[in-house]
Amino acid sequence: MPLRYLALGDSYTIGESVSESERFPNQLANLLEKDGYTTEVTIIARTGWTTSELWEGIQKVNVEPPYELVSLLIGVNNQYRGYDANIYREEFVFLLNKSIEYAGGNVDRVFVFSIPDWGVTPFATGQDRERISAEINLFNSINHEEAEKAGVHYVDITPISREAVSQLNLIAADGLHPSGEMYVQWAEAALPVVLEALKSQ
């Protein structure tokens, strides 16, 4: 039986501006296959979604728990729209608890990814990059803290995203979203954590 992997998020999970095979959940599945795990990926994500919109989207599809793996990467659009960080915390915790529920209550099978820093991208030219980075750091401090409280895994891909300031090959053609090359690095960062979780069960 294949592992069932549910990936929840926004443009970073659905892979805006890259092919389906280049999306990070699909690349993670490919890496897992090399370790002998066949993985079936289900993605609930859309470009532009905030925390509340992700929940609205989840409710419109047929979620069939329990999943062997669940990832959650959400919040950049809350930051982009200037939404309150305290509301982000509240809605993120709700989504995190749902993620744990979808993993059959097994916190060891849930993986929170940090929010990438779009402030380093060409899209942010002319904007206050330092403010963007500071706000991303604030939102990440929230999701990291809540992930630790819940006892789930945390994959910090924000430093990888910031490498794009000098490595434009890590940015897709739209000048904003990650390229397939960056998504490979995210998948590689997550792989050892996921493998450890799978082997511990």
SS3 per-residue string spanning 91-114: HHHHHHHHHHHHCCCCHHHEEEEC
Domain that holds residue 27: 3-199
**For 93-139, what is each residue's pLDDT tens digit?**
999 999 999 999 999 999 999 999 999 999 999 999 999 999 999 99
**200 pLDDT band (50/70/90 cuts)?**
confident
Question: Which of 159, 115, 103, 132 has its CA nearest to residue 9?
Answer: 115
CA distance 119 to 143: 19
**For 189-199, what is each residue's pLDDT tens digit?**
999 999 999 98
Residues facing 9 on adjacent strands: 45
CATH assignment at residue 177: 3.40.50.1110
> What integer pLDDT is reported at residue 201 of this predicted model?
62
Average pLDDT over residues 164-185: 96
The total domain count for the chain is: 1
